[in-house]
């Protein structure tokens, strides 16, 4: 079984690849990897990949020719696409030209609707599922409107992208001006209510119009958090695996509404990020159209979304497509992650 994983220089592809290679029940797996950065560690990781390829960036005119050649010459049957810009491009091509291998992808309209946090939030603005939010103009001409509604402190971040790009708790106009000055490459900032509670995630696997699997977790601390003023780097160092129906129900309501408003089919894999207010009510802050870096922690905890994705793509007759919100065997499971190591999953009561 030949499976292509894209963007293997990042932590999310490593997480998915390890889930398939070392933790799945699938037989005779051969993984192939691609990345556009010649310094990407994954391109040289022979323990994971049978063969890897340096490829053009997704916006390069030769991108598709190179990928079609790789897929044809290596008999690739399935692919898991991980960088979000590649997910968007593959979903577009899947609807216009078709793809040379099987891939689980969202509708292209849906990728465009949720890639921007501003667009996603605007679609849910009439619900109680998202925090109050505003696009912040670079000239700060609407700052008074924002502070009149949100007050200080409020939270800002880039309206697109991952890894907590541009995120910071803003407690004054001076702090905001300085933050904009040192982040000139962020095209659009997004200001929202500051939510002090838990940082949560709900992973959701959809197949042909229905939700098949879901599971919840919490991000607590981040790898190399000291290098980011917000403390958020996008890579969780310590988190929890949760049995939390409220988190799931809020995420599901948001996804149901988004699918309906966009007119898109319920199909694809998503990681819905949520943050709690002072009263413990979670609000949706982001919808990732892919696996994220701590997916393997769910795998070790008993919910292997990468394996389930491949089993759906291969039309495994033994796979039960009836919905299951995964319940972890223990109620106090936590995970610990480091930069270069396999994550550890253990009981929180085992911590020193």
Residues 233 and 159 both lie in one domain: no
**Would you say residue 163 has pLDDT above 80?**
no
Contact call for residues 287 and 162 (beta carbons, < 8 A): no
**Would you say residue 341 has pLDDT above 90?**
no
Of the candidates 231, 215, 235, the residue with the CA atom closest to the CA atom of residue 343 = 235
Range scoring the smallest mean pLDDT among 52-66, 90-104, 160-174: 160-174
Residues 99 and 139 both lie in one domain: no
Residue at which a domain ends, from 171, 193, 215:
193
| Interval 324-336: pLDDT, tens | 999 999 889 999 9
**Would you say residue 164 has pLDDT above 70?**
no
Contact call for residues 35 and 55 (beta carbons, < 8 A): yes
Inside any domain, residue 109: no
| Interval 294-307: pLDDT, tens | 999 999 999 999 99
Inside any domain, residue 246: yes
Residues 159 and 244 both lie in one domain: no
Inside any domain, residue 255: yes
* Count of domains for the chain: 3
**Would you say residue 87 has pLDDT above 70?**
yes
- For the domain that residue 176 is a member of, what is the CATH number? 3.30.1490.20
Residues 92 and 172 both lie in one domain: no
Q: β-strand 154-158 against 168-170: which pairing, if any?
A: antiparallel
Give dist(CA 31, CA 171) in Å, integer. 47
Residue at which a domain ends, from 146, 168, 193:
193
**Would you say residue 162 has pLDDT above 80?**
no
Residues 344 and 211 both lie in one domain: yes
Question: In a 10 Å sphere around its CB, with 0-12 CB exposed, 13-18 middle and 19+ buried, how is residue 97 labelled?
Answer: exposed
Inside any domain, residue 113: no
**Does 345 or 181 have the greater pLDDT score?**
345
Inside any domain, residue 122: no
Residues 175 and 206 both lie in one domain: no
Inside any domain, residue 286: yes
Residue 89: its pLDDT value, please? Answer: 97
3-state helix, strand, coil in the chain (%, to 5): 30, 25, 40
Residues 345 and 203 both lie in one domain: yes
**Would you say residue 267 has pLDDT above 90?**
yes
Residues 238 and 307 both lie in one domain: yes
Tell me what the pLDDT averaged over the chain comes to.
94
Confidence of residue 244 (pLDDT cuts 50, 70, 90): very high
- For the domain that residue 319 is a member of, what is the CATH number? 3.30.470.20
Radius of gyration of the chain from its Cα atoms, rounded to whole angstroms = 20
233: containing domain: 199-350
Residues 22 and 95 both lie in one domain: yes
Confidence of residue 159 (pLDDT cuts 50, 70, 90): confident
Kindly provide the b/e burial profile for residues 118-129, where b requires at least 16 CB atoms within 10 angstroms of the residue's own CB: bebbebbeeeeb
- For the domain that residue 8 is a member of, what is the CATH number? 3.40.50.20
Residues 219 and 145 both lie in one domain: no
Residue 227: its pLDDT value, please? Answer: 72
Inside any domain, residue 99: yes
Residue at which a domain ends, from 193, 217, 232:
193
Residues 236 and 149 both lie in one domain: no
Three-state DSSP at 109 gives: helix
Residues 162 and 217 both lie in one domain: no
Structure tokens at 97: 């030209």
Task: Tell me the average pLDDT across 69-81.
Answer: 98
Inside any domain, residue 33: yes
């Amino acid at each position: 079984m030949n499976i292509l994983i894209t963007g293997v220089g990042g932590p999310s592809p490593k997480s998915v690849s390890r889930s398939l290679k070392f933790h799945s029940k699938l037989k005779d797996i051969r993984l192939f990897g691609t990345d556009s950065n010649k310094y990407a560690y994954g391109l040289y990781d022979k323990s994971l990949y049978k063969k890897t390829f340096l490829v053009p960036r997704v916006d390069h005119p030769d991108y598709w020719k190179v990928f079609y050649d790789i897929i044809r010459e290596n008999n690739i049957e399935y692919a898991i696409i991980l960088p979000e810009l590649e997910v968007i491009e593959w979903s577009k091509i899947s609807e216009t030209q078709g793809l040379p291998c099987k891939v689980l992808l969202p509708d292209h309209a849906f990728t465009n609707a949720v890639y921007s946090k501003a667009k996603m939030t605007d679609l849910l603005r009439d619900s109680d599922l998202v925090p109050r939010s505003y696009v912040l103009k670079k000239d700060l001409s609407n700052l008074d409107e924002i502070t009149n509604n949100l007050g200080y402190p409020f939270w800002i971040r880039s309206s697109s992208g991952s890894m907590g790009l541009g995120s910071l708790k803003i407690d004054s106009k001076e702090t905001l001006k300085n933050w904009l000055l040192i982040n000139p490459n962020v095209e659009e900032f997004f200001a929202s209510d500051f939510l002090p509670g838990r940082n949560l995630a709900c992973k959701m696997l959809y197949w042909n119009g229905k939700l098949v699997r879901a599971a919840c977790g919490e991000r607590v601390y981040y790898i190399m958090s000291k290098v980011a003023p917000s403390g958020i780097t996008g890579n969780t160092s310590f988190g929890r695996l949760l049995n939390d129906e409220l988190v799931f129900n809020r995420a599901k309501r948001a996804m149901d509404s988004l699918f309906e408003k966009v007119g898109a089919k319920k199909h694809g894999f998503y990681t819905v990020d949520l943050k709690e207010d002072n009263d413990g009510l979670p609000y949706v802050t982001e919808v990732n159209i892919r696996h994220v870096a701590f997916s393997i922690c769910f795998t070790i905890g008993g919910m292997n979304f990468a394996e389930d994705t491949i089993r759906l793509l291969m039309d495994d007759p033994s796979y039960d497509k009836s919905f299951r919100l995964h319940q972890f065997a223990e109620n106090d499971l936590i995970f610990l992650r480091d930069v270069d190591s396999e994550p550890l999953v253990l009981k929180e009561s085992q911590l020193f």
